[in-house]
Chains A and B, each alone.
Chain A
């Protein structure tokens, strides 16, 4: 089952007169894992998530002349592009008939009441460092105590606690639109 999309011939703005330095391999090495994490956890579909990451870098490559480091980091720029790619998938899904028994229709509507809110928190969690995210996930999703996770990881409890604190602070900044990437 496929949905094929077409893309128009881009028209490049004056902002792109000077081609910026954008190295695909370097950008992928630095940000690819986080971008994949965002897509995988937003979509729950690994192959589709990989397609989203590829599309993100394609769009970035095509518009690299418009990237202005003074307006934000490459990481922020790539996440913005990927968010739009994922929203495209959400829209496509929304147009896919989802047929359910009448008695469950209300439940489905409730579950899907605010997919954008979920997308925001998934993006925020994807954007923190792997070490910080690992600690948040272990303690607040998996349900380990700090001591249990410390025993398993070998990282001191105090370090794990501070990682969670700084992860939450970074996520708050992202959710409030104040990125420090």
Chain B
């Protein structure tokens, strides 16, 4: 197929998806479809994708600010960020009060999620009535703070496998939230939380999948006692390991 034919095929498919074919183009596309069944496959696939695109409803195309560029460029200059393996367990707050006075971390890497920036919401009162309430801020604090999301870095994954996760301290134990890509479909994996004595606490199991795995698991070991999270294959082989920051006593 020549470039001209390829481009014309592309044009006609795009026009069809927007319902903008002229009568002559309808006939032209029908003739092409008779010779090339992949056109119907493209129309079907792209129609599904456009359905999903429309559900996005709007698109913000703002360019990065020079301030953001400077913040990113500054990462290389920051000692703690530059040194691979540097201790980055210290946290610092980012004030996102929304009044324009938001402070940026003085040291990069102190990423602070401000997920509670939602507007005031409504709570159900005891008597069934409705009252305005200010949304509760997500729990925050240093490593081990109850309810706070601690991002952890996993290492040691085999080629093609990526594991990312968080841990959350609870009164009943330690929650591990994992995002995993690339593990063989159907293979069984264990998630283990280790305490300082080396004792292993099972957090649960999952199966490898061809799509991204997003799972939450719980281990009955308190966060201050937990020192490491491991993902292991069924034969015990370590797939990924994350060291947890120590919790101040």
Contacts and interface: CB of A to CB of B under 8 A. Distances in A.
Contact of B112 (A5, A166, A168): A5
A161 B93 contact: no
Interface in A144-160: 145-146, 158, 160
B202 interface: no
Contacts of A122: 56
Interface in B41-67: 42, 45-46, 49-50, 52-65
B92 A4 contact: yes
A147 B149 CA distance: 49
B214 interface: yes
Contacts of A6: 88-91, 142-143, 150-151, 245
A139 B54 CA distance: 10
A4 B94 CA distance: 8
Contact of B75 (A15, A61, A88, A158): A61
Given A7-B150, A8-B153, A9-B243, 6 more contacts: A37-B62, A61-B76, A99-B133, A100-B122, A101-B124, A141-B59
Interface of A: 1-13, 15-16, 24-25, 28, 32-33, 36-37, 40-41, 44-48, 50-51, 53-55, 57-59, 61-65, 68, 71, 80, 84-85, 87-89, 91-93, 95-102, 116-118, 120-122, 124-125, 130, 133-134, 136-137, 139-141, 145-146, 158, 160-162, 164-166, 168-169, 171-172, 175, 177
29 contacts: A2-B96, A2-B113, A2-B140, A3-B148, A4-B110, A5-B149, A7-B152, A8-B242, A10-B155, A15-B159, A25-B73, A32-B68, A33-B63, A37-B60, A50-B64, A51-B114, A54-B111, A58-B81, A91-B177, A92-B113, A95-B115, A99-B122, A121-B49, A122-B56, A136-B53, A146-B20, A161-B15, A162-B14, A166-B10
